Amino acid sequence: MQRSSRDPSTLPTRLAEWLATVLPEGANPVVTLHSGIDTNGMSSETLILDAAWTEDGEARFGEYVARVAPAAEDLPVFPDYALQDQYDVMRIVGEQTDVPVPAVRWMEPTGEVLGTPFFLMDRIDGVVPQDVLPYNFGDNWLHDASRQDQGRLQRSSVEVLAKLHAIPDAATTFAFLEPRHDGSTLLEKNLAHVRAWYDFAVPDIGRSPLVERGLDWLEAHLPATDEVVLVWGDSRIGNMMYQDFEPVAVLDWEMAAIGPRELDVSWILFAHQVFETITGMLELPGMPHFLAEADVVAAYEEMAGVKLGDLHWYHVYNAVEWCIVFMRTGARQIHFGEIERPEDIETLFHHKPLMERLLAEAGA
């Protein structure tokens, strides 16, 4: 899936010239670009690069990843890419927890170097549960692992959420993540943010009765909670790198927010259920034993020492967000000539049967 119209051949020189301004004088950096995009994720551009330079008379070398905000003309998934917020939340998590976030190095906030802002972080070695084709389709390291190793990965991934949610005084520490929308509670503000995101998506692809039905139900049944934790946002195993079935890097912070912990716990479950829905439609076995809700909830409550509220509202919330992601990625595929514009945009929603079931169970 194409994410950008940026010319990769120009990037090494631009990056080297910029690094010369942030490294000590006389560093003379040289940048080697290894990849233009990563295989997981559908939003930000990810550049894989090496940098070599001279410092204090000695040769230095670094392996980095650049997270680059997409250009507006490339139909980004989100209306806004607050890269400084992403940089800051990763830095704070790295300082206050042992959650394995890559060390962030340099931030370029102006967009004058590559056309949009970006930052560099350390590159970590590890493997990622694949999105294309989804890991539960089979014939990959996670699907083919033993049940014991799959369970170890599941439990260690849930532990990441518990540790993130344990960061004290999240309302103050991460105040910059509070949604800039009206609402009497953080959850109401987060929901208003999702409504605004849908409105942003509509002009490029069209309206969705299913999304609007979901939003109306969510607004009418908003849970009463004033809980404030750091919410990773895109809390799925496809955004973690693993070694020996343990996380070594927690990535993709562009959906980070503050709010109730159920947002993250639901997301890690729901992301797997999206893939399970696809395997079900294709009559593939899938991995129904993996990331089962009862198991994840029990593990999380044990680790966090808290009782979770009912997750159904949060599943519908995340189902709506997945719809909007598919609206934006579909519009971008149309823009780049990868697909024809469908007559019914809801055919882009790979999890549509799952969302319809959740709404039916809610009486919506």
What are the residue numbers of the active site? 234
Residues 278, 288: Cα–Cα separation, whole Å = 12
Residues 309, 216: Cα–Cα separation, whole Å = 21
For 259, phi and psi rounded to 5 degrees? 165, -160
**184 near 190, Cβ under 8 Å?**
no
Helix %, strand %, coil % of the chain (to 5): 45, 15, 40
Q: Which positions ≥6 away from 85 have C-beta within 8 Å?
A: 176, 177, 256
Query: DSSP assignment, residue 78?
Result: S
**311 near 362, Cβ under 8 Å?**
no
Ramachandran region, residue 52 (left: φ > 0; alpha: ψ -120 to 50; beta: rest): beta
Residues 311, 324: Cα–Cα separation, whole Å = 20
List alpha helices for 79-185, DSSP H.
83-96, 147-165, 170-173
Q: Which of 42, 48, 46 is nearest to 12 (CA)?
A: 48
Does an H or E element contain 196, and which?
helix 186-205
Q: Which of 8, 128, 121 is nearest to 65 (CA)?
A: 121
How do beta strands 246-250 and 240-243 pair?
antiparallel
Query: DSSP assignment, residue 342?
Result: P
